[in-house]
Amino acid sequence: MAQAGAIEASAGSGAAQRSVSAQSRRALDWLNFFKADAQTTVGPYLAIFLLAARHWNVARIGMVMALPGLVAVLTQTPAGALVDWLAQKRALVAGAAVGLGAGCLLLIGCTSVAAVAMAQGLIALATVVMPPAIAAISVGLVGPAAFARRMGRNEAYSHAGAVFAALLAGAIAYSFATVGLFYFAAAMSVAGAIAAWCIRPEEIDPALAREAALGRGGRPEIVAIGGLLRDSRIAIFAAAVTLFHLANAAMLPLVGEMLSAGRPTLAAPYMSACIVIAQLVMAPVAVVAGRLADVWGRKPVFLLALAALAMRGVLFAITRKPYLVVPIQILDGVGAGIFGVVAVIIVADLARHTGRFNLLQGAMNTCVAVGAALSNLGAGVVANRYGYDRGFLLLSACALGALGFFWLAMPETAERRPPPA
């Protein structure tokens, strides 16, 4: 069902903080906890499963492992438009969670390339839909005034869930069998769907959920795509997002290659430690970032993320000691923790009164996917030809370029309000 009719009946008042029941707040917390990306939980082990249990060759494995990235690039923006258009956002999130779980279960019985590719495509589509839909529910519940803090809380629960999922998935794979991971991921997805249905639908303001203003007669005023394109801030921020992930995406894989080249037996435990330490740091950083975005403004907090990313690249370039790699990953927790919160808040600012919040989220997520693809390609070529230190310095230079560009070109997007008590 399209959303226009629902918005007509909406008060659309987001100037002040809205009253939200404890049930909806807790359900949203648990939804973020259980939505742990199946590509993060299952993805690292899928190649091992296909190699050991299905006896696939490297070429076939590479083909199906690359599919989610392609799906993400092609569907991020249309998925955002779908979230804007549909009024039943709870149903969309629950359906995506069930689809994600179904994709994980399909991987257990699939033996052909086509079947595994279909399951991977289903998981990728669900993963693309859920973040903008959860952000839409969040702003629809609390309104713009409290959205920054709510996003900080969302990301904190999300990172806590990711740590829980990663640790338990590793224990299941080690103690039982790799196939147990797929059942575990499916169970997490079902729990996420239940949490989504526990959010009270009457508390989600459909106008606020897409950042729409109400015109005469209570009808939504939706800005045309051409109107969005005339806002130079959107293009500037899209470029900054692409540059951030151009600098960020290849950094941890490059660390893994560097560790494997030096001490292959230590690469896996050190990589696991890098992932866990970053997620542990991201949870408190997300909460703090949401609060600082209200107090300082969005721009200075986002600049902190870019500075942490640039510093991380330089430190990786000058060290080869495995025991130093893990503490350096604290900076990943700082940079990525801030980005996950503040980027969505800035998108909400840019979409204010346009009715295109989730479409813009999808477009920015497309920039993330494009930046990540180019990052892995460029850094891999440089590291292979000139060494790992040059690869890290290239990524750090991209981060510094993004920092300078964002500082000079991007205006502050926050509406100045009195600081909360």
Give residue-wise pLDDT tens across range 305-351. 999 999 999 999 998 787 888 899 999 999 999 999 999 999 999 99
At residue 41, the pLDDT reads 64
192 lies in some domain: yes
Give residue 142's pLDDT band: very low, low, confident or very high (50, 70, 90).
very high
In a domain, 236, yes or no: yes
147, 171, 205 - which closes a domain: 205
In this prediction, residues 37-61 reach a mean pLDDT of: 72
Is the pLDDT score of 9 beyond 70?
A: no
Q: Give the pTM.
A: 0.84
- The CATH number covering residue 248 comes to 1.20.1250.20
Question: What whole-number distance in Å separates Cα of residue 102 and Cα of residue 323?
Answer: 39
179 in the same domain as 272: no
2 lies in some domain: no
| 161 and 287 assigned to the same domain | no
Count structural domains, the chain: 2
What is the pLDDT averaged over residues 170-176? 77
Q: Which residue would you say has higher pLDDT here, 116 or 323?
A: 116
Of 28-32, 176-180, 394-398, which range is least confident?
A: 176-180
| CA angle, 286 then 291 then 295, to 5° | 140
Instruction: Give 222 or 415, the one with higher predicted confidence.
Output: 222
Of all helices (H) and strands (E), which one includes residue 214? Answer: strand 213-214
DSSP symbol at 213: E
Per-residue pLDDT at 324 = 85
Domain that holds residue 38: 19-205
Residue at which a domain ends, from 205, 235, 267: 205
Q: Are residues 272 and 176 in the same domain?
A: no
Residues 85 and 177 in one domain: yes
90: pLDDT confidence band, cut at 50, 70 and 90?
very high
Of 224, 217, 173, the closest CA to residue 355 belongs to 224
Identify whether 112 is part of a domain.
Answer: yes
Are residues 182 and 108 in contact, defined by beta-carbon separation less than 8 angstroms? yes
Q: Output the pLDDT for position 83.
A: 93
Query: Which comes out higher in pLDDT, residue 249 or 307?
Result: 307
Asked whether the predicted pLDDT for residue 14 surpasses 60, the reply is no
pLDDT score at 111:
83
pLDDT single digits (tens) 74-83:
899 999 999 9
* 259 plus 407 within the same structural domain: yes
Task: Tell me, yes or no, whether 238 and 171 share the same domain.
Answer: no
Collapsed DSSP state (helix, strand, coil) of residue 2: strand
Note whether residue 410 is domain-resident.
yes
For residue 14, being part of any structural domain is answered with no
